[in-house]
Structure 1
Amino acid sequence: MIDAAWLNPGIAFIVGILLSFKLRKISARVQSRRGPLTWLPACWHDINKSKVLQPLYDILKLFSKQTIIPHTATPLFIAGPYLALACAIAATLFVPVGGASIDYPFSLVILFYLLLFEILFIIVGGISSASPFAAIGGVRETELLLANEIPFILGTFALAITYGTLSIKDMMGFNLLVNPFAALAVLLAILVKLHMKPFDIPEADSEIVGGLTTEYSGKLLGVLETTKMIMVFVLCALFADLFLWVPSSGIYAWAVFLTGLIATCLVLGIINSLFARFRIDQATRWLFKIPLLVSVLAIGWAVLWRYVL
């Protein structure tokens, strides 16, 4: 019988579509923008259809378009998106989905590397186009990466200290109460990794068109959008597993997992809708102050929780 963990990539893609739609819907509601109704009576189906699958329609449209390769681009321009997608798919195997994942004693470390290489491949692919917009986006992405990885790693390692393991499965629980500092540090890091406001600096449309993805089109851009959709699922699922999980099994495990997933998506969507974009200097300075301080507090609290309390 097939291991349920091997179904995670397909689940990640399907649920990622729904989460991407939810983020759009949250943004519209917070900003009081009224769009087409989500569900319509049967007699109105010829007028409009459900917009729940709009993120999927956008990707399918990109795959039907012509892919234009800049004459200045290197082979890495083509390889980058596919390698990033491979890392995102592999990451779904190590993040428990309804409790199912490939469980290694050091799965947290493997996940760190996969998330790191996913963005590195996008950076390498983007700057390989020789576009000045991609170069600026690559510099911004690298600066954010350097400022954000430390709080992200420290926030998750705080739970590793608490539970004495590097297995994601073994540290799952309602750790929002056990270590709220770690939860806050990881949540802020997820905002940066998903390029949500106020950290959407590497792809600021009003400044650098699209940053690293400026020269991508057609199928290659479709691959990048698919990667982004899967990453929304992976990071929301990681937060739900580490901080909002209540031990359960069967149908209850899925109910708990989906509830945590939706709650995480809701918080990210609200923050994304309420805040304006940082400048790159403001973002890096802020990341080296607030999230770093919170993550250090998370480590200290974890040590206190395990060895003193």
Structure 2
Amino acid sequence: MRIEWETRQLALDEGVSIRALHGRHENSEGGRPTLVLLHEALGCIAMWKQVPQSLAEMTGCDVFVYERRGYGGSSPIELPRPDDYLQQEGAVWLPRVLEAAGLDRVTLVGHSDGGSIALVGAAVLGDRVRALVAMAAHIDIDALTLGGIRAAVERYRTPGSDLPERLARYHGERTDLLFRAWHETWTRPGYENFDLRPWLGDIRCPALIMQGEDDQYGLPEQVFETCRHIGAHARPLMLPDCGHIPHLEAPQATLGAITDFLEGLRLTRPAG
């Protein structure tokens, strides 16, 4: 089945413009939720690489991926970010994006920051969210989180490091600002109070909570604590030989697990 991809520029409230990529299956029956992909703290549409296409083919679902404020072709941001920026992205901006895109029923698939945003979004959007997949999401800050961020900052600042150049391929002149937005927010005094547990009890949809066993930014307890607070409709999955980016480091296992999860909920359709 052919998938047509369209780059869209969505106009939101407060003069915000959001760039998105929307993949739709040609001549397919409706009724299935659209997969909405939510990127990491230093991500963008391009950094998902082949994941949108692969998920569209494997699940038979339409796929929608967008860049949050400050990223890619979306409106810029200013620093400092508020302490509740992730909560705002999930509770305020995600619903606005879905409204502007004309998406009613969705499955949220988020990675890292995007996973945390997906948790909040699932809590506030009710039955519009039919399923949730969170990869390497944080519900609080643990010692491994801070250690991983500080190691990345040291690497970024080390002369001769390839990290700034690699990020600049995707973020261009916004690279330094986005890197600062990430590490300065997570390591500043006061942000240690970040805690998404109060949101989790409002998640009613089936949830797959995934993380690599070798994730350098979060302890495994993040997964199990998230599932405990969501309840029996949440399923934990730890991926062996995998770090912080499951969909790129272990794509076959990760995308296969997502597809199997959605098939079990009858939220996919034959793509052939």
Normalising by structure 2, what TM-score?
Answer: 0.30
The structure whose RCO (Cα within 8 Å, separation 6+) is larger is 1
Structure with bigger strand share is 2
Larger radius of gyration: 1
Please give the TM-score of this superposition, normalised by the length of structure 1. Answer: 0.27
